[in-house]
Amino acid sequence: MKKKKIKTNWLYSQTAKEHFLNPKNVLWDEKNYQADGKGTAGNPICGDQMALWIKVDPKNQKIKDCKWRTYGCASAIAATSMLSVMVTEKGGMSVKKALNLKPQQIIKRLGGLPNLKFHCSVLGQAALKEAINDYLKKISSKE
Amino acid sequence: MRKIYLDYAATTYIDPRALQKMKPYLTKAYGNASSLYSLGREAKAAIEKSREDIAKILGASSGEIVFTGSGTESANLAIFGIARAYRDYGNHLIVSKIEHKAVLESAKKLEKEGFRVTYLNVDSQGIVKLNELKKALNKKTILVSIMYANNEIGTIQPISKIAEIISNFRKQSAKRKAQSVRDSRFAICDLPVLHTDACQAAGSLSLKIRELGVDLLTLNGSKIYGPKGVGCLYVNKDYKIEPLIVGGNQESGLRAGTENTALIAGFSEALKLAEKLKKRENRRLKTLRDYFIKKVLKIIPGSRLNGHTRKRLPNNINLSFAGIEGESLVLRLDQYGIFASTGSACTSQDLAPSHVLLAIGLPAELAHGSLRLSLGRKTAKRDLDYVLEILPKIVEKLRTMSAIKL
């Protein structure tokens, strides 16, 4: 699809817009993806639901890959996209640090979200937490 | 980039002919219509001419038209105005569940003031359940407010049938009262009063008061190629209403404040033009509407039409796409210059999906995935063909990244 920019005020920040229109790390092919942990959050009845998958490097406990899919509004999509970038950039975020990631940090990186949309970034964070816990449960059961 | 406006139900541009009528009153003829000298009389004359023109379209007398600041204000004036004027006669109101917020929020406010409100259900296509109306009517009912055509799904209500039900009820209760109560107050008027919000219907449906059988009717300028910030309320002369805005004798004391001559002149001109173009536009838009609906339902799997297939405004298309969310859809369409709207929660302040879509029994998920395209005078087939090219791609894209699997 061809894209053109229109010079008008957009509902969200430029960064959020970019992540919404060109989301990073979407999991297009679930079948062939071997995740170490999976988490979901939200509810379609409320208008947003997300699923998030992570791969963790067992040597240093850092997230080396993070994929997701979101049903939701533009800010939910942008927030999940940004979250996936944040946990994988610079060689990956440690699992411990990722567990403590705050929604505010995601919003800040997005250049802000309208107050009403705060919960969109909370959801992504909740899905990530669940994915990490899923991973931790798996490795502890292996041990 | 092409810009395709498909949100005429939200608002329209001003017809240049209506704008032309407004101009003198924004510049040279700026007088206050209440003033005694000629500059004021000029404004007064323009307002009264507009009032007559609108009354003529409605088949009413000009004394029955009150100019207001919007459709919302007109609806507020109707609901509060009647409730406050007739509260000695009863404290019960009936509205439908799919009314515009201008009516619903007014009713809710009155509930807090001690009124009792019945919210009528609608069927799966959005038609008010008339048997519920019949059951809800009682001797304390002072007002029934049911919209003429719905702004979201375009469903047209059987207003004259509703008026007939109310008229029958009045006759019966008049008989009862004559037998039991010897209270002269009851002879003053026939209650309940019937109000209809005709903002979306104007320009497409008949506005003849006698045909409709309504006592109050709300109209505004911004949906009929007139200016924003102006509306009117038809009030049958046999009924009285309490004003919302006081502080002057304008509009027979029913709406204080210096009249906005330009807006009123533009509004009446726009309504006259809309009446003139109605028949031709209806035919044209219906063809376009049905062409588009048929195509979309065929091309896009998991899509459905919301509202009635036939009893529908000629310019309204409301669709739901499973597995995607409306705000994302609307914002992506915007990237292609297509302007539309959605009943998704994400566009509302309370994060709840459209009350209209929920009322027709749509699951919340499909209400979130709704798209309203409303056509208008500048909509051509090639515009819809462009949408038919873009829309399936966007739906497909959003679905592949959606967490909901179909």
Give the pLDDT confidence score for residue B344 in this predicted structure: 82
Selecting from B1, B346, B365 the residue whose C-beta is nearest the C-beta of A4 gives B1
Confidence of residue A8 (pLDDT cuts 50, 70, 90): low
Digit-coded pLDDT (tens) for B83-130: 999 999 999 999 999 999 999 999 999 999 999 999 999 999 999 999
- Of A4, A45, A49, nearest to B403 by CB-CB distance is A49
Identify whether B103 is part of a domain.
yes
Whether B92 and B232 map to the same domain: the answer is yes
Q: Give the ipTM.
A: 0.88
The DSSP call for residue B324 is -
For residue B183, pLDDT over 70 is answered with no
**pLDDT tens, residue by residue, B330-389:** 999 999 999 999 988 766 666 788 999 999 999 988 999 999 999 999 999 999 999 999
Residue A109 burial by Cβ neighbours in a 10 Å radius (0-12, 13-18, 19+): middle
| Residue numbers of B annotated as active site | 346
Task: For residue B337, list chain A residues with Cβ-Cβ distance below 8 A.
Answer: 6
Q: Answer whether residue B271 shows pLDDT above 70.
A: yes
Inform me whether the pLDDT recorded for B193 exceeds 70: yes
Structural domain containing residue B364: 4-10+278-400
Whether residues A28 and B346 touch (CB distance < 8 A) is answered with no
Name beta bridge partners: B197: B218
Residues in chain B: 406
For A:53-72, CB contacts with B below 8 A are: 68-72
- Nearest 5 degrees, angle CA A107-CA A97-CA B401? 50
Question: Within an 8 Å CB–CB cutoff, is residue A48 touching chain B?
Answer: yes
Does residue B150 share a domain with residue B287? no
- The residues of A that are catalytic are 46, 120
Integer CA distances (angstroms), B346 to A20, B279, B359, in order: 15, 37, 18
Residue ranges of chain B whose CB lies within 8 Å of a chain A CB: 1, 323-325, 327-328, 331-332, 334-335, 337, 344-346, 349, 351, 353, 363-365, 368, 393, 397, 400-404
CA-based nearest distance A97→chain B, Å: 25
Q: Out of A20, A44, A68, name the one closest to residue B365 (CB).
A: A44
Residue B20 resides in a domain: yes
Query: Scanning the structure block, which residue is given the tokens 């071997």?
Result: A34
Q: Tell me if chain B has a CB within 8 Å of the CB of A73.
A: yes
Q: Which positions ≥6 away from A4 have C-beta within 8 Å?
A: B1, B335
Per-residue pLDDT, A116: 77
Task: Write out pLDDT tens, residues A14-60.
Answer: 999 999 999 999 998 888 889 999 999 988 887 889 999 999 999 99
Angle, to 10 degrees, between the axis of helix B16-26 and the axis of helix B261-299?
160
For residue B362, give Cα distances in angstroms to B126, B295, B356: 11, 22, 9
Residue B67 maps to a domain: yes
Cis amide linkage into residue B192, ω under 30° from 0: yes
Whether residue B266 sits in one domain with residue B133: yes
Comparing B27-31, B131-135, B262-266, B351-355, which segment has the lowest mean pLDDT? Answer: B351-355
Q: Domain check: are B23 and B145 in the same one?
A: yes
Residue A2: the pLDDT is 46
Q: Are residues B123 and B246 in the same domain?
A: yes
Chain A to chain B Cβ contacts (< 8 Å): 77
For residues A92 and A95, give the distance between their C-alpha atoms in angstroms, rounded to a whole number: 9
Q: Would you call B401 and A21 a contact, using CB atoms and an 8 Å cutoff?
A: no
> Strand B316-321 vs strand B303-305: parallel, antiparallel, or unpaired?
antiparallel
Q: Which chain B residue shows the shortest CA-CA distance from A26?
A: B401
Counting other chains too, the contacts that A124-127 makes at CB distance below 8 Å and 24 or more residues apart are A124/A41, A124/A50, A124/A52, A124/A68, A124/A70, A124/A76, A124/A79, A124/A80, A124/A83, A125/A83, A125/A101, A126/A39, A126/A41, A126/A42, A127/A39, A127/A40, A127/A41, A127/A42, A127/A50, A127/A51, A127/A52, A127/A68, A127/A80
Domain end residue (candidates: B273, B302, B318): B273
Say if B195 falls within a structural domain: yes
Partners of A3 on chain B (C-beta within 8 Å) are: 335
Per-residue pLDDT of B29-78, as tens digits, reads 999 999 999 999 999 999 999 999 999 999 999 999 999 999 999 999 99
DSSP B143: E
**What 3-state class would DSSP assign to B149?**
strand
- Per-window interface: A 118-137 vs B, CB < 8 A: 119
Q: Is some CB atom of chain B closer than 8 A to the CB atom of A7? A: no
A 10 A CB-CB count for B47 gives 21
CA angle B289–B291–B293, rounded 5-degree value: 70
Residues of chain B above pLDDT 70, percent: 95
The residue out of B241, B257, B273 marking a domain boundary is: B273
- Please indicate, yes or no, if residue B406 is contained in any of the structural domains: no
Q: Which of B223, B240, B273 is the last residue of a domain?
A: B273
Summarize chain A as % helix, strand, coil (round to 5).
45, 20, 35
Tell me the average pLDDT across B310-338: 96
CB B388 within 8 A of CB B5: no
| pLDDT(B194) > 50 | yes
The span from the CA of B259 to the CA of B248, in Å, is: 11
B403 to A42: CB separation less than 8 angstroms, yes or no: yes
CATH of domain A17-142: 3.90.1010.10
| Cβ neighbour number for residue B19 with a 10 Å cutoff | 18
B62 and B41 in a common domain: yes
Residues of B in contact with A116 (CB under 8 A): 349, 351
3-state secondary structure at position B7: strand
Our CA-based measurement puts residue B130 at a distance from the nearest CA of chain A, in whole angstroms, of 30
- Collect all residues of chain A within an 8 Å Cβ-Cβ radius of residue B2: none
The pLDDT mean for chain B works out to 94
Q: Give residue limits of the domains in chain A.
A: 17-142
Same domain for B72 and B124: yes
- How far does the CA of residue A66 sit from the closest CA of chain B (Å)? 14
Q: In this predicted structure, what is the pLDDT of residue B403?
A: 83
Is residue B188 assigned to a domain? yes
Does B285 share its domain with B247? no
Per DSSP, what are the bridge partners of residue B194? Answer: B144
Burial class (CB in 10 A: 0-12, 13-18, 19+), B378: exposed
In a domain, B159, yes or no: yes
pTM of the model: 0.92
Residue A6 has pLDDT above 50, yes or no: no
In chain B, the number of structural domains is 2
User: Is the CB of A45 less than 8 angstroms away from the CB of B325?
Assistant: no
Q: Tell me, what's the pLDDT at B378?
A: 98
The mean pLDDT value for A109-138 works out to 88
Rounded percentage of chain B residues whose pLDDT exceeds 90: 90
| Res. B405 pLDDT band, cuts 50 70 90 | confident
Distance from CA of A68 to the nearest CA of B (A): 8
Residues B202 and B326 reside in one and the same domain: no
Distance from CA of B316 to the nearest CA of A (A): 24
The answer to whether residues B111 and B203 belong to one domain is yes
CATH number of the structural domain spanning residue B97: 3.40.640.10
Q: Do B207 and B341 have their domain in common?
A: no
C-alpha B138/C-alpha B123 separation (Å) is 23
Q: Residue for token digits 């998991």?
A: B302
